[in-house]
Each structure stands twice: as structure tokens, then as C-alpha cells.
Amino acid sequence: MLPLLSVIMIVKNEEQELSHCLECVKGLADEILIVDTGSTDNTVAIARACGAKVISDPWQDDFSRARNRSIEEASGQWLLWLDADDRLADIEHGKIRRLLHGDPAAYLFIIENLYEGRKAQEFRQVRLFPKRKDIRFQGKIHESLTPTVAQSGLPVKTCEIRITHTGYSDAEKRREKVRRNLTLLTEEYHRFPHDPAVIMELGHTHFQLKDYASALKLYQEILALPDGEKTQQDVFRSVPIFIGTAYYEMRDYENAKIWFRRSVERFPEKIAAYYYLGRIALDEKDVTAVKAMFQLVILKEPDISTVASDYTGMKANAYAYIANLHFVRGEFEEALKLYIESEEKLGYAAYQYASAGYAALKAQNLSRAVYFLAKAEAAGELSAEGLSDFGVVLWGIARRDRAVMKWEEAMEKDPHCISAQNNYVDAIFELKEYSRGSDFLRKIIDQIGDAPTLRFFRANMLKSQGDRLGARLEAEAILARHPENSGARDFLKTL
């Protein structure tokens, strides 16, 4: 009896990723078929150790060729294709098994691209399909099953199964892929000059290389295709946004607005059009339009299609822009509400945590202030003044030792931070931790050199702990450089 499900993959030098991917399909796949295109690391050994069947097929600058070899070699009745940097959660296994016992169809999964650790672009892609001779990949790059599935007459169905693609998390890897893609896509464009998806991907590559004029020309070519909407509806309906975005990056806002408004009129489900109209309104300081457009971005449900779009990023930015408008107007409670809602709903914040922390502080929500300022500190957002403010919040909720530590960190970051100095000295005297205070201030004084105010504080701390000689030496050090300092002179009289 034939295996029910074969997981098929193509790999090259994926020793860092492969075992993690194969772990994701343990208990789901009846067969794992891997085409290795020339690995020089431990990829093949790892694949075999995980129970995969490995076929060697040297790389020939053609993704479809390699993927089609994996289809041909697989034995399963159903095929699920994955990349080594894909991740499939265990919770999806049951959903996939149910599909395997249903009617034959090509299933569109939701693919989530991770960018630097956060969910970014989402799109639908055929990942699961029955093995048939008439279903093969097309395209040397950005290969797709869509054309042959359409020709075969096999039903295409959407499902809510998600695959996380981690291959775009690293910025340098993304740049490498863009440079690699340009040559292959240019070749594809000459082979398939009327394929909307090929033209789109080549346009996107020029866009990522900041060649917006070339991208714009290619996007406009898609609209000129006689059957563009009929053959690839998702691509065609996204073109007004692509054109508008190219104009936006070229700072031609008038033409950008024409195309974004055209998208809103014809395809109102497209969130990106509202988002960029909001960005333009922000640049033009049209506050009413900013709020209207970004509120629509927040409220609209993502229309996930076969064309990738960063819904999470756009929604997170929309929250941040509106919240920041409230912040600058002094409407701190409204700002804080949006900062909180953004993180809770999206699991990602486009705003600076420091802004949210200050909004919470101004709104007198100390627990939220601590939460956001701690995140801001971890993200490296806090200046010395910010750390000092964090200390004030901690002191206000009776976390006094942590507060003192924040003021020390603030002075280490900037020894001249006056608010941190004053808060620290007041705290040391209230807590009567004179030894701690005098030791720390000596370190800061050594960094600054001439620091009469800090020396005076330290002299008082030494006096309070009974070290009158040390206190005298500090006061005399002040007078040696600043003989006019009456405070130091009067202090000496008390010793």
C-alpha cells in the first residue's frame, strides 16, 4: 500500500535548520523525501539520521526542476512540500490528517514570514496536493504550483493551516536572496513576458533594490496584460498598491494618492491602500486624515491572498501613529490604551516602549509604567534621563532597591544626569545607606574629575557614617579648586 503522505523538500547546506524542520513533521509524514542539491556540510547525514530518503541532484539554477524531482521520487498519495526553514506547529497535524481523508484538492496554507523575530508578511500558497502527473512546479525562481493546478482542473481550497517561514529573519540573508533573485527573475521575465506573477516578483526585486522607476514600469506592464485579472486575480488586484507604493517611495505623493484611492474604490478589502494614505497624511500633517486612515487599518480584517502583505506591521504602525498623536496632545490615557491594545492583539509593538512607559507614568498607571519601561530598557531605548524616570516609578511602588539601582545605572550612562544625581542622593539619605552611596559617588567622581556637587554630597554621606576625616578631605578638595565655594567652607566648620 502506498504511503498516505510524503513530505517533500529540496535542500542545500541546511545543517542549522533541517533537524528543526523534520522534528515538526514527526508523526505526521509517512515518508520524507529530500532532494539535496549539493550540500557540503552535514545536511545529508542529518536528513538520513531523521529517517529521510535522500536523492542527490546537483543544483542547476532552477528551483522548479529540483522540486519536480522531489515530486517524481515521492511515493505518497498526498504531497506536502516544505523548506528547511519552515516550521509547522503540532496543532496543525490533526487539521492536515483530516484533509488527507477528504476529496482531492490543492490546499492553500497560510505562510507567515518572520522578519527579525516578528511575524511580518502573510500570504496563501498551495502546499498540500495529491500526487498527479499533471501537477508540477513552474518557474526557475519563486516557483509555483498554481499554473499547473489551474490547468489540471483540480479544485483549489483555502484552509487555516499555518506554516512559519523563518528564512527571512536575518536582514543580511534577505539582501543575499534579493541579489540572487534578480538574475534568475530577469531570465524568467524573458521566458514568460506575460506572466503577472513573474513580472510582479521582478518588480518587487527592483523595488527592494530601491530602483523604484524600474519597479513602477514593471507593475504598469501587469495592468496592460489583456487577461491579467482573469489569469491571476490576486496579483492584478494588488497592482494599484504596488504602483502607489513606488510613487510614494519616489516622494510623488499626488500620483501615489491617485493609485491608493483607486485601490480603495475598486478593492476596498486591501488594507495597504489605507495604510499608505495614512502615511502620506502624516507627512502632510493632515491629522484628521491620519486618524481616519489608520483607524481603518486597525479595524479591517486582513484579506490574506496569494500576494504577500505585512498586515501585522501595518496594524502595529497604525496603532503607534495614532497613540503618538494622543501622546503629543497630552492625552496620555488614550495613548496608553492604544499602546496596550497593540501589544495584546498583535504580539508586537511598532512604538518605542519608552513612549508607552512615559504615557503610563503621565496617566499615573505605575504598574504599566514599570512594565513598559522595563521593556524599553531591555530594548536599549532608555537614556540616562529615562533610567532616572524609571527609578522614580519604581520608588513610587516601593521597589526601592531597584529604584536606587536605576539611578546608579543612569549616572553610569551619563555622570552629569542631574535628575539621577538628585534622586539618588535623596534616596541614600532616606534609606541611610551612606556607605553604598559614598562608594558609588567616589567611582562617579573619578570619572568626571571636577565634581564639586557630587563631592559635597559624598562629604555629607561620609559625615553621616562617622567618617569625619573622609568628609573633611572631600570638602578641602572642593575648596582647592573652588575657593569661593561657601557651602564647602561652612561644612568644614561643622566637623
Quick one: CATH architecture of 170-309? Alpha Horseshoe (1.25)
Name the grid cell of 475.
570638602
Rg (CA), the chain: 31
Count of C-beta atoms within a 10 Å radius of residue 329: 11
Name the grid cell of 146.
498554481
d(CA 205, CA 181): 7
**1-169 CATH fold:** Spore Coat Polysaccharide Biosynthesis Protein SpsA; Chain A (3.90.550)
Element containing residue 162 per DSSP (H, E): strand 156-165
CB 200 within 8 A of CB 180: no
Domain boundaries, the chain: 1-169, 170-309
> Which residue type occupies 155?
P
φ/ψ of residue 14, rounded to 5:
-115, 35
d(CA 427, CA 437): 9
CB 242 within 8 A of CB 203: yes
Say whether 170-309 and 1-169 share the same fold: no
Q: Which residue has the cell 573652588?
A: 482
> Which residue type occupies 488?
A
Given phi > 0 = left and psi -120 to 50 = alpha, else beta, which region is 414? Answer: beta
pLDDT in tens, the chain (495 residues): 678 999 999 999 999 999 999 999 999 999 999 999 999 999 999 999 999 999 999 999 999 999 999 999 999 999 999 999 999 999 999 999 999 999 999 999 999 998 877 888 999 999 999 999 999 999 999 999 999 999 999 999 999 999 999 976 566 666 777 877 888 899 999 998 999 999 999 999 999 999 999 999 999 999 999 876 777 899 999 999 999 999 999 999 999 999 999 999 999 999 999 999 999 999 999 999 999 999 999 999 999 999 999 999 999 999 999 999 999 999 999 999 999 999 999 887 888 899 999 999 999 999 999 999 999 999 899 999 999 999 999 998 999 999 999 999 999 999 999 999 999 999 999 999 999 999 999 999 999 888 899 999 999 999 999 999 999 999 999 999 999 999 889 989 898
pTM over 0.85: no
End-to-end Cα distance, the chain: 98
Q: What is the DSSP pairing of strand 156-165 with strand 106-115?
A: parallel
**Alpha helix stretches (DSSP H) within 153-195:** 171-191
